[in-house]
Amino acid sequence: MAEVVIVPGEAEAGELVAGAIVALIREKPDAVLGLATGSTPIATYQALARRIHDDRVDVRGVRGFALDEYVGLPPGHPEHYRAVITREVVEPLGLTPELVRVPNGDPAGIEHAGADYERAIVAAGGVDLQILGIGRTGHIGFNEPGSSLASLTRVKTLTEQTRTDNARFFDSPSDVPMHCITQGIGTILRARHLVLLAFGEAKAPAVAAAVEGPVSANQPGSAIQLHPHTTVIVDEAAASGLEHLDYYRHAWANKPAWQGI
């Protein structure tokens, strides 16, 4: 089962994940990070930026792969995930821009973009630590319900629920693209360590389904149960639908320190 860590809030989650990433980079200076967008990981990126700065961590060799991208947003749009990753990750952390990739959502050549991205991840030796959020539909990356658990990077149609949820980042709901390109669930499962973050009551049903529900394409997040090393970090509200809360708290309180997350 996934390890579930219940924290007071996003700041504490951020400190935990930042600690794990700094330890990874110290051991492997060209570590490959899997980067999620959305509001969930923002506090984690902020904590990581602080740690890198305060502890003078050399991140020049760190590589990154974003999970997903919208298809067909006009160049320069602030919600292009390339722009989001630059603004929220590459610049504050001081990563080398050329070493951080985002799937190419340009409609010209989109039919090859998925396979190109897969090749690039394999050529980099795979993702060491993948940060994940989870959508209210249960999606990870942009793998909406029904996505094959073996899927690789490809173009998907967004659900109306996800378009509505993400409309807050756009001037008008109709500006949210219909299509995206996303790492598949099979791609995500190849990362060596998955760290899934979720905060707030709205995420509680998706977290419960992902951690304790049946493994099903209908709940893409449930694919984490197939992975040998997944850490789920949630606040009390996002954890509120979990059945085995007492056990998760007990296991965390008694976890050998050497294990890390």
Residue 219 touching ligand GLP (CB under 6 A):
no
232 SS3 class? strand
Binder among 105, 114, 133, 177 for ligand GLP (CB under 6 A): 133
Binder among 52, 67, 188, 242 for ligand GLP (CB under 6 A): 67
The CB-of-137 to ligand GLP minimum distance in angstroms stands at 9
**Structure tokens of 81?**
């995930």
Residue 182 amino acid letter: T
Residue 135 touching ligand GLP (CB under 6 A):
yes
Residue 221 touching ligand GLP (CB under 6 A):
no
The CB-nearest residue to ligand GLP is: 133
Question: How many Å apart are CA 244 and CA 239, to the nearest integer?
Answer: 10
* Segment interacting with ligand GLP (CB under 6 A) among 32-40, 119-127, 185-193, 249-257: 32-40
Nearer to ligand GLP by C-beta: 16 or 166? 166
Residues 6+ apart with CB under 8 A from 83: 76, 77
First to last CA, the chain: 14
Binder among 33, 36, 84, 95 for ligand GLP (CB under 6 A): 36
Q: What is the DSSP letter of 216?
A: B
Nearer to ligand GLP by C-beta: 31 or 196? 196
Q: What is the DSSP letter of 70?
A: E
Nearer to ligand GLP by C-beta: 23 or 178? 178
Nearer to ligand GLP by C-beta: 40 or 151? 40
Question: How many Å apart are CA 100 and CA 64, to the nearest integer?
Answer: 4
Q: What is the DSSP letter of 53?
A: H
**Structure tokens of 250?**
């007990």
* Segment interacting with ligand GLP (CB under 6 A) among 20-28, 90-98, 131-139, 213-221: 131-139
Site string for ligand GLP, 82-121 (x = CB under 6 A): ----------------------------------------
Residue 166 touching ligand GLP (CB under 6 A):
yes
The torsion angles phi and psi of 89, rounded to 5 degrees, stand at -125, -65
Residue 38 touching ligand GLP (CB under 6 A):
yes
* Segment interacting with ligand GLP (CB under 6 A) among 22-30, 33-41, 92-100, 102-110: 33-41
Is 125:172 a contact under the CB 8 Å cutoff?
Answer: no
Is 74:33 a contact under the CB 8 Å cutoff?
Answer: no
How distant is the alpha carbon of residue 47 from its chain centre?
Answer: 16
Instruction: Name the strands in the sheet holding 68-70, side by side, starting at the edge strand that comes first in the sequence.
Output: 68-70, 179-182, 154-157
- Binding site residues, ligand GLP, CB under 6 A: 36-40, 67-68, 133-135, 141-142, 162, 166
